[in-house]
A and B are shown apart, each in its own frame.
Chain A
Amino acid sequence: MKRFLVPLVLFFIVVGFLAVGLNLDPREVPSPLVGKPAPMFSLPRLDDPEKVISPKDMLGQVWLFNVWASWCGACKDEHPILMALSKSGVVPVYGMDYKDTRQEALQWLEHGGNPYIASAMDMDGRVGIDYGVYGVPETYVIDKSGVIAYKQIGAITEDVLRNKILPLVKGLQTQ
């Protein structure tokens, strides 16, 4: 008799997974870089291309690394949040202008305000590939020893900032 129940049981197993799947985002690809040292680079600074910026300079502090571009729509959404965060001084925010032109990027910062202590210029997207960037904006939380602790894909929302990023930053800062 039991064998006639097999299809029903299999179906309910599939349904269980589908139900869980409803709350997952299939497009979000977790980064394998979390828990690994942030890839090294040395890129010209947006405000002064003569100067060079590198994750090495940030060792010893917890910092946010925000990948942005003037052409990116979602960057506008998170911009006020970054501005407020930067003003609060809780954590230093560095940026990387990704596949952009310097002129447009500077204009964009002038219009909307500049939340970054400094921004690197990754005009050909090479460093972006090292960081596994696929959807701008993306934000990395990097700890004192230069290890990536968290990656946010897409715009930072109030919710993500308050419940994920800030508690994580505070924890890392006290280490």
Chain B
Amino acid sequence: MSTTRIKLALMFGFIIVSCLMQSVSAWAEEARPLQENAAVEAQVQRLSEELRCLVCQNQTLSDSNSGLAEDLRQEIREMAAKGMSDKAIIDYLVVRYGDFVRYRPPLKSTTALLWFGPFAMLLAGGVILFVTLRRREKMATEAPLSADEARKVSELLDKES
């Protein structure tokens, strides 16, 4: 193949490709995103999903259509555009509206039970379960008991404990 033919083929290919591209854009405009800055928008989205709207109190800022939610999203957008961190933006809102705006409650002394409670219960449940099972197993290895005897034994055990 000569170089001219390659050039020709390339040119031809280029024309086809550009025609194809043309054909899309000739009929339709590319829809513009509502917000131009994708990185900022990702931060706004991430934050507004964790924040509670104060007007429609069971929606996140991201889901709510109320006027205040829109204002606050705009406020967050401007702060994000200034390069403020997630924490700084959340602090800004907490100063104004209190911890109520955070759907993820901050960890402090009053919320320790909330955050650690489930895992403490899991641990306690596991330990109690294991101890109970072991005790039952020991009972099983001793002389088999009739139902009545088992009842009495368990009553006795309970009285002791």
A residues within 8 Å of B by Cβ?
1, 3, 27, 29-33, 99, 124-126, 128-132, 134-135
Q: How far is the CA of A129 from the CA of B68 in the complex (A)?
A: 9
Cα A124 to Cα B75 in complex, Å, equals: 11
Using a CB-CB cutoff of 8 Å, which residues 147-161 of chain B contact chain A? 158-159, 161
Using known A-B contacts A1-B158, A99-B67, determine if residue A135 contacts B55 with beta carbons closer than 8 Å.
yes
Interface of A, helix, strand, loop or mixed by DSSP: loop
In the bound complex, CA of A87 to CA of B94 (Å) = 37
Candidates A27, A32, A99, A125; contact of B57 at CB < 8 Å: A27
Residue positions of B touching A, CB distance < 8 A:
54-55, 57, 67-68, 71-72, 75, 94-98, 100, 158-159, 161
Tell me, rounded to whole Å, the shortest Cβ–Cβ distance linking B90 to chain A.
13
A5 to chain B, nearest CB (A): 12
A125 to B3, CA, bound (A): 67
Contact A29 B54, beta carbon cutoff 8 Å: yes
Contact B97 A132 (CB under 8 A): yes
Please determine whether B98 and A30 come into contact, CB atoms closer than 8 angstroms. Answer: yes
CB neighbours of B97 from chain A (8 A): 29, 31-32, 132, 134
| Choice from A27, A124, A129 contacting B72 with Cβ under 8 Å | A129
Minimal beta-carbon separation of A1 from chain B (angstroms): 5
Chain A residues lying within 8 Å of B72, measured Cβ to Cβ, are: 129
With both beta carbons as reference points, the residue of chain A lying nearest to B101 in the complex is identified as A29
A134-B54, A135-B55 given; A29·B100 CB < 8 A: yes
Q: List 20 A-B contacts (CB under 8 A).
A: A3-B158, A27-B57, A29-B54, A29-B97, A29-B98, A30-B98, A31-B97, A31-B98, A32-B95, A33-B96, A99-B67, A126-B75, A129-B75, A129-B96, A130-B96, A131-B96, A132-B98, A134-B54, A134-B97, A135-B55
Of A3, A33, A126, A134, the most chain B CB neighbours within 10 A belong to A134
Select which of A1, A124, A132, A134 is within 8 A of B159 by beta carbon.
A1
**Do B54 and A32 touch across chains, with their CB atoms under 8 A apart?**
no
Q: Which residue of B lies closest to A39 (CB)?
A: B96
A102, B55: Cα distance in complex, Å = 24
Output the nearest chain A residue to B75 by Cβ-Cβ distance.
A129
Q: Is the CB of B68 within 8 A of A32?
A: no
Residues of chain B with a CB closer than 8 A to A33's CB: 95-96
Q: Which residues of A contact B100 (CB under 8 A)?
A: 29
Q: List 5 other contacts, CB 8 Å, given A30-B98, A32-B94.
A: A29-B54, A29-B97, A126-B75, A129-B72, A129-B96
- Complex Cα gap A131–B68 (Å): 13
Q: Give the residues in chain A near B54, CB-CB below 8 Å.
A: 29, 134-135
In the complex, residue of chain A having the shortest beta-carbon distance to the beta carbon of B97:
A132
Q: Which residue of the partner chain A has the closest CB to B70?
A: A125
Assembled-state Cα–Cα distance A128/B75 (Å): 12
Considering the complex, give the chain B residue whose CB is closest to the CB of A28.
Answer: B100
Chain A residues near B94: list those with CB within 8 A: 32
| Interface residue from B68, B95, B158, B161 paired with A134 (Cβ < 8 Å) | B68
- Alpha-carbon distance A27/B52, docked complex (angstroms): 12
